[in-house]
Structure 1
Amino acid sequence: MAKLLYQGHGSFRLTSNKGQIVYFDPFIGDGYDKPADLILVTHDHFDHNNVEICAKKPNCRIITHVEALAGGKHNRFEVGGIKIEAVEAANKNHSPNECVGYIIEIDNGKIYASGDTSKTKSMETFADLHLDYAIFPGDGFYNMGLVEAAECATLINARHNIIIHIGRDGAPFDRSKA
């Protein structure tokens, strides 16, 4: 299974067994110095789309919600053996045509990265995917709160659940607060 590192706010990094680097919703802080093979962006808010902060390999692929929703559907991609499927994301501040979540298959593991969302109808099918990790927001402002995140975790039934995006100030990860 790939190594998962929380980058702070709504961002994390995956490192595959082959050394491939995937950044998810880059924002601020340190830790974006490893050249990326792939960058996934869920929506066009400043605290989720700072791709400039990331070191990139010359052939780095950047997939945003625009490409993920091209043609009016949730698209699938494959980059260096990493499979990515865009999935529904929406909340009171984001319509379904402005954002996505991603299901990422890497090193025989499956990760659901929800992005800024509330509970969606498509989550009802995710238990069938036998996800290893589900990553949810939890601040309750531009996305689900902690109670709703717990409900979604129960519905999705991933082996492990992680809450991120829990502060409203957009600060990077602070170990002293963990």
Structure 2
Amino acid sequence: MDLSNITINSHSSIKLAGSTVVYCDPFQITDASRDADLVLITHDHYDHFDPESLDKVCKDDTAFVAPATCIDEVQAYAGDRQAIGLAPGQQVLIDGVRIQAVPAYNAAKSFHPKDNAWLGYVLDLDSMTIYIAGDTDGLRENTAITADVALVPIGGTYTMDAKEAADFVNALKPKVAIPTHYGAIVGNPTDADLFEDQVNKPISVVHKLFV
């Protein structure tokens, strides 16, 4: 899968259009594509678990992965469709996509407590390893992740800000970093430029969210 198949609809609403079509936290979706083979939910805040947007991307056999702490809510939406709850450190294989759950939390804020066991995800899809950080601070434990592409929040307030995200990416060392989670609710377009300016080469910063 190449980078052209990675899109951000809004905020942290991510689509990976590979041999398996994966959405993560679909939000503010306008087109009813109903093409999702797999939907990942990082946590149950309204801007990450949005049933109205899910209605527009999901089909009859869409599978769902979510934190085990949120799985009852997700299963209630999914109905008879497959919904799997994971804890940090667990993994699952669905439709040829290996999905590893990793921690996503705030170390010193109350918005995303560690005890909630909310998630980021590392996916192996079409010979590419993609890390979707979720709503998180730049956790030292996650710098051991190996990824070709890292999608990281930069908007501050609820997550890392641009400088913190750049420091995290510089420690993570992916080939490509894509900034998320700015412009719609928190953060502003200039955060993306600030982030790019502070990311070390040869890491490439690719902009996918245009606000």
TM-score (norm 1): 0.85
Unaligned runs of 5+ in 1: none
Q: Please say if 1:45 is aligned against 2:10.
A: no
Tell me, yes or no, if the aligned pair for 1:88 and 1:101 is still in contact at 8 Å: yes
Per residue, is there more helix in 1 or in 2? 2
Note closer, same or farther for the CA distance 1:31–1:12 as it changes in structure 2 (3 Å cut): farther
> Relative contact order: is structure 1 or structure 2 higher (C-alpha 8 Å, sep ≥ 6)?
1
1:96 to partner: Cα distance: 2.1
Q: Which amino acid aligns with 1:125?
A: A
Instruction: Tell me the SS of whatever aligns to 2:135.
Output: coil
Rg (Cα) greater in structure: 2
1:166 to partner: Cα distance: 1.0
Q: Which residue matches 1:13?
A: 15
Larger deviation: 46-55 or 156-165?
46-55
Tell me, yes or no, if the aligned pair for 1:26 and 1:49 is still in contact at 8 Å: yes
Tell me, yes or no, if the aligned pair for 2:91 and 2:100 is still in contact at 8 Å: yes
Unaligned runs of 5+ in 2: 69-84, 187-207
Q: Which residue matches 1:138?
A: 154
Q: Which residue matches 2:86?
A: 68
> After the TM superposition, which segments of 4 or more aligned residues of structure 1 sit over 4 Å from their partners?
none
- Per-residue CA distance 1:57-116 (angstroms, 9 max, x = gap): 3221111112122xxx53201111001000011112211232110001100000100000
Q: Distance in 2 between matches of 1:31 and 1:148?
A: 33
1:35 to partner: Cα distance: 1.9
Q: Which residue matches 2:95?
A: 80
TM-score (norm 2): 0.72
Q: Please say if 1:95 is aligned against 2:94.
A: no
CA RMSD of aligned residues (A): 2.1
Count of residue correspondences = 166
